[in-house]
Structure 1
């Protein structure tokens, strides 16, 4: 079994987009080139909406939520931006509730399918998406949702979502690599950006935990949380360095690979941008928790690490963009992997926001705005194509075609 393949839902959506009609449906005579005028056109039964849900659907919540979070601290603020960002946060929250309900129904109604996801060499890695989706919505609640529901409710909700995401993320960081090491069969050219998904959640926990530090009980609890977040930081950083090296090696020795997997190259920016954000926030919020000397050292580390990692982030952005453009010219089929263009870029926005706030450098402010513009553009494209492929046509939700 080789992992350098698209997931079944992604292959189905790709084939459907190439054919120009819902998979498995024959168009009425005399109406070639048209689609049935109803929702979920490719589905024959309402239960099929939840029949083939995979954990990578949660990437749409991550990508939506990061658009809101990125705007919250963007160096350039203008009237209406915060309100728009709060609306997008609310959309992400609704998506989280609906997708979680749908996933529960999927496990109840189609347990045979759901129970095999962890055995799939590609799908299994995307179990890291649900924990990050929970924490993304939680962070958005603390930064933006408090405007609507109040700070007390926002903090409580964030604690709950952060705890769920943190526990889930630690499980995926251990279990998915374990399955990859012991159960899955990979070829040398199999490494792809999705391998990062199960190990990145602890870095998201570090970022979210840094924001919760002021609301944690003072004393031992708050200091424990601070150092725990640094532990999460190191867990993801070391694992990400190893995996990124494997991806680099695969590109050098085996080339770019199939077009449908090219968007996953952008996932590399996830641990890069998220680690910059985490280092910056942890250093900034360490004051009053540890001694002044230690706090000053942590703040300095955040700046030094942030600028050093930013250099690699800019390099990878340029390389990934060049490869994406090259692939798009030859044909880049739409699939759920397109959400890889959103959350990773959004973490670069939040990282740049933090560095810009610490230094006041105009260059960083400009970079943050440019990355945010790219994020919004990618989100609009991915969201509209996903809505059309799922709610309108239903091809993204349709069960895989029997071989």
Structure 2
């Protein structure tokens, strides 16, 4: 073992690696995957078939918890990049940590969806425009992060080998697909139909950016799996991530098709039959994507079974959101057909997502208390320089 590796694994010695500074400094974007997972659970419980008043209140409570977690994450992130501005450049150029920036707009999208579902019926008109404003911000951030960070990945740093690739690359791209489905949900409640039409058209653009790009990345990832076998156990949970673009893409195109019928008719856009045609095509595309998701669900379950035991880390939240959006797509298919089979299957999938959320939440809380989860791999070089500086002062 080299001196550098020995120094890296030693306990923290600087003031920046102790107390609240350690939490702030090691608060990576991957922590927003916690709010992603919590947000999709609140959405599933709100939309689940055969719902009841008690489930509604549970989903609303989880929604409130998610808003609190998201706000806390934003405050800590602002502190991190204000107190340690040098971390930002290190983070956005890191081949893995930079991918998790996509979890921020996806987390916000879950809050926007629940704001429309829960707050609009209670608080009225102004909440509709609040949700619309948040969606515009979310859409801009989604596109900027997806395109700019993908370009940084192409042009910055050392050569990336196919064997080191994981499905985490999809996190940047899925944010555009999530923003597209949120746009359909927001457009449904906007009083001004011209605003709703533009929201709908932009959402189709977002879907068109995200889904084809995600399919290309999934093709590369499939090649990586066949040539270099399964990822290491530390990131094995990432095998579930391909369900994200397929599940959310299918759900989004169904919601867009559902919304386009009403808005095209009221704004006299294209032909009279355009809305029903787009609705039908959207459902067919969604059903094909759902079917393709079965392939990746099999690969994911088989990979987890093959790996057997693997240690808990923040990546376990990768279980919840991809499975959650796939369950949401299943439920939506059951609503559109209508089909008791898909509704019951969606409920079963939703039940497993909620169960996983509880298990992962307990594991996260235990390790937050112990401090084991606060670790930022992208800070290795900065940490070594600081330890050298502290050692020089001591000498």
TM-score normalised by length of structure 1: 0.85
- The correspondence of residues 210-221 of structure 1 with structure 2, limited to 5 A, is 210-216=184-190, 218-221=192-195
**TM-superposed deviation, 1:337:** 0.9
Please give the alpha-carbon distance, in whole angstroms, between the structure 2 residues aligned to 1:157 and 1:193. Answer: 33
Distance change in 2, residues 1:96/1:157 (3 Å): farther
> For residue 394 of structure 1, what is the aligned residue in structure 2?
371
Match of 1:187 among 161, 172, 176: 161
Residue 106 of structure 1 and its aligned partner are, at CA, apart by 0.6
Return the match for 2:69 from 95, 105, 125: 95
CA distance in 2, matches of 1:47, 1:145: 36
Q: Which runs of 5+ in 2 are unaligned?
A: 1-7, 266-271, 385-395
User: In structure 2, the residue corresponding to 1:202 is in which secondary structure?
Assistant: helix
1:380 Cα shift? 1.0
8 Å CA contact 2:106, 2:175 repeated in 1: yes
Secondary structure, in 3 states, of the residue corresponding to 2:148? helix
Aligned to 1:384: 362
User: Which structure shows the bigger proportion of residues in helix conformation?
Assistant: 2
1:131 aligns with 2:108: no
Find the aligned partners of 2:362 and 2:125 in 1 and give their Cα distance: 34
Q: What corresponds to 1:64 in structure 2?
A: 38
Q: Does 1:24 align with 2:7?
A: no
Deviating beyond 4 angstroms after TM superposition, the runs of 4 or more aligned structure 1 residues are 398-403
CA-to-aligned-CA distance 1:13-55 (integer Å, 9 cap, x gap): xx9xxxxxxx839xxxxxxxxxxxxxxxxx7322222111111
Rounded to whole Å, the distance in 2 between the matches of 1:354 and 1:151 is: 26
Among 299, 323, 332, which residue is 2:279 paired with? 299
Q: Compute the displacement of 1:377 (Å).
A: 1.5
**What is the Cα deviation at residue 89 of structure 1?**
0.5
Q: Does 1:371 find its partner at 2:349?
A: yes
CA RMSD, Structure 1 to Structure 2 (Å):
2.2
* 1:111 aligns with one of 61, 85, 88: 85
The 1-side partners of 2:52 and 2:198 are apart by: 38
In the alignment, what sits opposite 2:228? 254
Residues 273 and 351, structure 1, Cα contact 8 Å, conserved in 2: yes
* SS in structure 1 at match of 2:312: coil
1:321 aligns to 2:301 (yes or no) = yes
Structure 2: distance between partners of 1:211 and 1:295: 16
Q: 1:240 to 1:80 in 2, by over 3 A?
A: same
Query: What residue in structure 2 maps to residue 141 of structure 1?
Result: 115
Equivalent residue in structure 2 for 1:166, among 121, 124, 139: 139
Specify the alignment match of 1:338 in structure 2.
316
Contact 1:256 1:262 in 2 (8 A): yes
Q: Partners in 2 of 1:97 and 1:52 — Cα distance?
A: 17
CA contact (8 A) 1:206 1:232 kept: yes
Cα 1:339–1:361 shift into 2, 3 Å: same
CA–CA distance in 2 between the matches of 1:166 and 1:72? 23
Deviation at 1:218, TM superposition (A): 3.6
Q: Is the 8 A contact 1:134 1:164 kept in 2?
A: no
Displacement of 1:219 in angstroms is 4.6
Higher RCO, 1 or 2 (CA under 8 Å, sep at least 6)? 1
Distance 1:125 1:177 in 2: 9
